[in-house]
């Protein structure tokens, strides 16, 4: 059973010594006065020995206790708690290092969630940060990552003084970088106003300007109190307290979202009459998907094979923010821009030699449509108007738009419902020569037959090189592509490689075409192009194809509105940088080895037909279709995100996935099959 959702707020400051402890204590009093069983918690306390977190005069806990000492207590809930204490009075990362300890956001979040589970009478936790908003926990994380990991709102505390608006602007930008929400802002004074007119003007302007900027957020002020009058100060925070009390009474977020979802949304490959089981995702981090109830799932899908670097990678987000500040979008008709030019150049350098023209598209399906239109226009330009058919192998999948559907498997694919409305294409036997077996030249016999009988109709052959993806996760021998390319050249048909799923290293080669050393006439890529951050795809062709389309004053008849979107181009460039810097070959080779080691235990299990691994793809093929909804629920209970379909239980984790998590994914698959969770 999911644990009860955490109700908490994170009190942080624009810097140190800005009054966070006073604000936290005041909120504690105000909430308890109104009947809310709140507790103030210091996740990390520095300058205090481990056994003195509640008693040391240098600790914050005694201040919390003092604030509520004169009001009716909650006997089962102490007013204060300190989770980790370090003696050195410095930044958390230094204080922990001095005691040979380490801090991480995930570890502190686990501490907080455990504390929440143990204190079942608590309605809300008031978590006070150590130091400022961006005080480091380690070389990669800071205080914001605790709030992000818990997915809770912030109460920001800042001093009201000269320079406040500048400090506040930086703090709000830092909050926005992590996608955090602001529950309230409290301005404090550590010394009295001296009556100076200029100072009074500055303080009033700080409040007014901040309230105008944060129209939906309570912006409150605590004046200087030489002697703390807790009751008076609690009254000043009443608007924020009421907002927090409403949050406590609100329905469980995940239940409410699912209810609203089912009234308005339609999910992929699903029925509105019998809607699918839904899990509410609230955040992502690294190779984790975090659900609204706080559970973390190890991602085994890379979000449909796209998030190769994991989630929230700072380099990708920095590229996104940087380009958004310059130019988020501009039409590509009649205009160009540096991100698009540079991305096209980078792609051409990485694609098989001879692919020289890049046409950007919105998604993988659209990239396939573009490729098909290129082939048709090319053949028309060459005077071959009768070449209007595409030849594709059974077992292929190329997308859900009409043209793309027409070249998907017409028998075992998912688009049979539309067969009569789709353009009639030509199909041949699926490549039956396994990747891990000697090549059998006879596997091309059916392709030869089709070319002998219908070559004059064929504009192009389209297929997924080496790996057929959603059509069956089938790995076939690269030499098949060599033979097929020769047949295409002899027949005057173009060769289109759909590398939307296989591109950017997934199979162990940057593009799967490299396994065979074959250069197609047209190549489609997408999915991982932006590291799973934005939707984008590209279709590249040879100069010969481009010239054949554009000769005699003709133009290519396609132009998506968001073609060459600068945001997506910039993120794609950052993703390509990461691929090189993170040594993708090593990453994928390690994943291949780990998947082979982990999935080997599925061999010989009941109902298992085949187990195969290539690059960062691991597949367990069952004898019969699996019970998808039940099996996916089983995986979620095991703390992993795996989405099986048909007879396939497969893994395509992000390249950054640690070995322990790969083992965990493989173990979940093995145990699920062994326990029969896949059965109807």
Q: What are the tens digits of pLDDT across the range 304-358?
A: 999 999 999 999 999 999 999 999 999 999 999 999 999 999 999 999 999 999 9
Distance from C-alpha of 677 to C-alpha of 680, rounded to nearest angstrom: 8
Measured from the Cβ of residue 107, the count of other Cβ atoms closer than 10 Å reads 16
Q: Which residue ranges make up each domain of the chain?
A: 8-249, 259-309+584-674, 314-578
Domain 8-249 class in CATH: alpha beta
Distance from C-alpha of 120 to C-alpha of 304, rounded to nearest angstrom: 38
Please give the backbone phi and psi of residue 345, each rounded to the nearest 5 degrees, phi first: -65, -45
Tell me, yes or no, if 318 is annotated catalytic. Answer: no
Tell me the CA distances in angstroms from 303 to 542, 635, 643, one per residue in order.
31, 15, 10
Contact between 384 and 492 under an 8 Å Cβ cutoff? The reply is yes
Contacts of 580 (CB under 8 A, 6+ apart): none
Tell me, yes or no, if 373 is annotated catalytic. Answer: no
From 527, 650, 655, 661, the catalytic residue: 527
From 60, 151, 479, 498, the catalytic residue: 498
Distance from C-alpha of 86 to C-alpha of 51, rounded to nearest angstrom: 10
Tell me, yes or no, if 634 is annotated catalytic. Answer: no
pLDDT tens-digit map of 434-476: 999 999 999 999 999 999 999 999 999 999 999 999 999 999 9
Q: Are strands 80-86 and 38-46 parallel, antiparallel or unpaired?
A: parallel
pLDDT at 4: 81
Domain 314-578 class in CATH: alpha beta
pLDDT at 639: 97
Tell me, yes or no, if 64 is annotated catalytic. Answer: no
Task: Tell me the β-bridge partners of 286.
Answer: 311
Name residue, tokens 């239109």.
Answer: 373
Q: pTM to 2 decimals?
A: 0.90
Q: What number of CA atoms fall less than 13 Å from residue 637's CA on the CB side?
A: 10
Topology given in CATH for the domain delimited by 259-309+584-674: 3.90.1150
Instruction: Give the residue among 84, 5, 73 at the shortest CA–CA distance from 35.
Output: 73
From 51, 196, 216, 269, the catalytic residue: 269
What is the token pair recorded at 150?
Answer: 């818990």
Measured from the Cβ of residue 38, the count of other Cβ atoms closer than 10 Å reads 32
Q: What is the mean pLDDT of each run of 10 residues along the chain (680 residues)?
A: 81 93 96 95 95 92 95 92 95 95 94 95 96 94 94 95 94 94 92 79 93 94 79 93 84 76 94 92 94 91 97 96 96 97 98 98 97 98 96 97 95 86 95 96 98 97 97 96 98 98 98 98 98 98 98 95 97 97 95 98 95 98 94 96 96 98 98 94
From 397, 476, 480, 634, the catalytic residue: 397
Distance from C-alpha of 501 to C-alpha of 469, rounded to nearest angstrom: 7
């Amino acid at each position: 059973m999911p644990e009860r959702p955490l109700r908490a707020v994170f009190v942080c400051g624009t810097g140190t010594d800005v009054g966070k402890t006073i604000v936290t204590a005041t909120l504690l009093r105000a909430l308890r006065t109104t009947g809310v069983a709140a507790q103030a918690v210091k996740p990390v306390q520095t300058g205090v020995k481990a056994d003195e977190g509640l008693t040391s005069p240098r600790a914050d806990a005694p201040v919390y206790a003092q604030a509520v000492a004169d009001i009716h207590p909650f006997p089962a809930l102490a007013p204060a708690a300190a989770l980790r204490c370090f003696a050195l009075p410095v930044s958390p990362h230094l204080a922990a290092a001095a005691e040979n300890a380490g801090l991480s956001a995930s570890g502190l979040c686990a501490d907080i969630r455990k504390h929440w589970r143990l204190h079942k009478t608590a309605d809300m936790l008031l978590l006070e940060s150590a130091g400022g908003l961006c005080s480091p926990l380690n070389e990669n994380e800071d205080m914001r990552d605790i709030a992000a990991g818990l997915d809770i709102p912030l109460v920001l505390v800042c001093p009201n003084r000269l320079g406040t608006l500048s400090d506040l602007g930086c703090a709000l930008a830092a909050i926005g970088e992590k996608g955090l929400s602001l529950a309230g802002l409290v301005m404090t004074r550590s010394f009295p106003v001296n009556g100076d007119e200029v100072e009074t003007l500055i303080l009033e302007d700080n409040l007014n300007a901040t309230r105008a900027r944060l129209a939906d957020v309570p912006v409150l002020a605590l004046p200087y109190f030489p002697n703390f009058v807790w009751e008076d100060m609690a009254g000043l925070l009443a608007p924020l307290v009421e907002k927090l009390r409403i949050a406590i009474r609100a329905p469980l977020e995940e239940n409410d979202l699912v209810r609203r979802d089912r009234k308005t949304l339609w999910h992929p490959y699903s029925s509105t009459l019998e809607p699918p089981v839904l899990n509410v995702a609230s955040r992502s981090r690294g190779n984790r998907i975090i659900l609204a109830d706080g559970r973390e799932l190890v991602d085994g899908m890379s979000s449909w094979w796209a998030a190769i670097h994991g989630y929230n990678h700072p380099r990708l987000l920095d590229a996104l923010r940087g380009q958004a500040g310059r130019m988020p979008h501009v039409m590509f008709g009649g205009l160009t821009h540096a991100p698009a030019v540079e991305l096209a150049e980078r792609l051409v350098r990485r694609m098989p030699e001879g692919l020289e023209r890049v046409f950007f598209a919105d998604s993988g399906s659209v990239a396939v449509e573009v490729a098909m239109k290129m082939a048709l226009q090319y053949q028309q330009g060459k005077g071959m108007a009768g070449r209007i058919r595409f030849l594709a192998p059974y077992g292929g999948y190329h997308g859900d738009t009409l043209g793309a559907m027409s070249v998907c498997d017409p028998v075992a694919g998912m688009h049979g419902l539309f067969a009569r409305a789709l353009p009639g294409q030509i199909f041949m036997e699926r490549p039956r020569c396994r990747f891990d077996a000697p090549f059998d030249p006879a596997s091309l016999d059916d392709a030869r037959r089709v070319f002998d009988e219908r070559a004059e109709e064929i504009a192009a052959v389209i297929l997924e090189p080496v790996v057929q993806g959603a059509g069956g996760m089938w790995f076939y021998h690269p030499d098949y592509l060599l033979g097929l390319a020769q047949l295409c050249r002899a027949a005057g048909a173009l060769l289109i490689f759909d590398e939307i799923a296989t591109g950017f290293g997934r199979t162990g080669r940057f593009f799967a075409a490299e396994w065979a050393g074959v250069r197609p006439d047209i190549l489609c890529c997408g999915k991982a192009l932006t590291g799973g951050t934005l939707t984008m795809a590209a279709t590249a062709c040879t100069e010969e194809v481009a010239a054949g389309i554009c000769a005699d004053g003709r133009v290519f008849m396609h132009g998506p509105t968001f073609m060459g979107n600068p945001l997506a181009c910039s993120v794609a460039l950052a993703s390509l940088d990461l691929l090189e810097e993170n040594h993708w070959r090593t990453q994928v080779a390690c994943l291949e080895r780990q998947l082979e080691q982990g999935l080997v235990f599925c061999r010989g299990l009941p109902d298992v037909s085949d187990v195969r691994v290539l690059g960062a793809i691991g597949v367990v093929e069952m004898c019969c279709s699996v019970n998808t909804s039940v099996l996916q629920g089983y995986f979620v209970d095991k703390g992993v995100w795996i989405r099986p379909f048909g007879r396939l239980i497969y893994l395509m984790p992000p390249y950054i996935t640690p070995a322990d998590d790969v083992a965990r994914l493989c173990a979940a698959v093995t145990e699920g099959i062994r326990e029969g969770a896949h059965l109807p």
